[in-house]
Structure 1
């Protein structure tokens, strides 16, 4: 049996990570992409997928423009997750489906704001589907980040931010440079940032890290290079983790001396509830999160089910 999500009867795969004849790729994180015979995605996602997987054959889905394929009408809508991320809205004579992929409501520094749409059936990711994951307002989190970065500078330290290579690193870069703070990026991050630039997403004053810190600059690295020894070439480092998991006490206990900034590119608990209410689906299918979220939705009067 071929596991994964598929639109039937067309067999269009939804973020399936094995090669398929036709596969919709919501965004270019590798747990959502594969080298499909034909990949359906937005133009920025196509650029990023080709960088990460090679010469993938793509059919571009401009946001808001319906395409006909395999007997279905499909429309991509922005998901607010990372550059190029999209939901897909499918129309069939038996009803309509909205598949969110990873999404976030509200503004983003580097992604178009998510656009929800009413549908008969909603398939949604629910990573933060527990009430513990109610994140502070975005402006508050950004103020927290900027304040702690400036405090580190005043102490003569180099702020070193741990963030995912694709998505979070570029958003944090844009937030910092928009507030007058230049950024040095790990080479793997910088390579992807150049694709952002080519796609028209200006990240401001960012350069590759070349082995030593520069006064007044923040350094952004993937999670693994932040080691107990700090950053090669830097004497005094203060470490930052920018993630929605900043509220998880188990993760904070692993590095209690570091700065934890709760900026997420996933919808938090309240945004997940809001999405369900706005889509007004007859049935909600949940995936990639706590199964308790299904019971939460049922308690609110929704027909909710868990997708294994």
Structure 2
């Protein structure tokens, strides 16, 4: 194991099990958990850059390791297979599927002072590309709660998929190029798989195409997709990163219909920012009801919430849970 570097950890901790210092650390080992600056040992739940860093030793799944190396260079990794406990720095650590994106993992840790489940970004229910989340009971739960407000009760997945397919199909019938805005890693690949599974071929922006090649090499087949080479192909959807297109639209395309695929589609202000575009509420995060369901399934002594509205803590307290905001 790499030598642990000095770390200043604030005293706020739970039974000596974890603490925070501009990020989450397991105690007493000081293993960083989704800490975004280099650590001697760091667990990376998935390869989105707000959860990853070039640690001296990164603990993650094989798929995440490949994507981290693509994004950060030659990072030394120790692969964690789902459901297979490993003894690391005095902790018994187990990676569990998170259902967020391909390769994403929750972290279950068992220590003499208690058990802890850290969800990272997660989603309950099916995914086109990610293994379904597997929760377990734990003494303490640290969970992301991005959509921890009742406004974010998303429609049923099958309804959302039908919305996406209908929107894309109708755009093609009108002679337009459906241009879908989606995150480069995760959402773009899931949307690709959904479309190709229903007979709609996909062209991808180069940065998305690079990630999709890693998915394919890691065993996650995405179907009929190709690189967008500067001109649309009749009958194909185009997927691009979530950046505003130029006023002229997509280079090479005369008639474009823009489609935003995100859980934030439930936000009226977001929709008003581009009222002529299509908004599809497909998310890779747990919605409000899934967050509540997760707490019930884990049945912890205490819940610590991150990355969401602090009002969700009060919501949990009103439901009888010992809930706190993790600074």
Partner of 1:155: 174
Native 8 Å contact 1:162 1:226 kept in 2: no
Name which of 130, 134, 137 aligns with 1:118: 137
Which ranges of 4 or more aligned residues in structure 1 deviate by more than 3 Å?
A: none
Partner of 2:262: 243
Matches within 5 A, 1:4-153: 4-153=23-172
Aligned pair count?
308
CA distance in 2, matches of 1:200, 1:69: 28
Partner of 2:12: none
Native 8 Å contact 1:98 1:123 kept in 2: yes
CA distance in 2, matches of 1:176, 1:66: 36
Tell me by how many angstroms 1:67 deviates.
0.2
Tell me by how many angstroms 1:225 deviates.
5.2
CA distance in 1, matches of 2:236, 2:295: 41
CA distance in 1, matches of 2:210, 2:180: 17
Partner of 2:291: 272
Partner of 1:224: 243
Name which of 244, 253, 266 aligns with 1:234: 253
Tell me by how many angstroms 1:153 deviates.
1.0
Partner of 1:3: 22
Q: Could you tell me the TM-score, scaled by structure 1's length? A: 0.99
Name which of 277, 280, 289 aligns with 1:258: 277
Tell me by how many angstroms 1:249 deviates.
1.1
SS in 2 for 1:152: helix
Tell me by how many angstroms 1:149 deviates.
0.8
Give unmatched runs, 5+ long, in structure 2: 1-7, 9-20
Q: Could you tell me the TM-score, scaled by structure 2's length? A: 0.93
Name which of 152, 156, 177 aligns with 2:196: 177
CA distance in 2, matches of 1:162, 1:81: 18
Partner of 2:213: 194
CA distance in 2, matches of 1:307, 1:248: 25
CA distance in 1, matches of 2:169, 2:35: 42
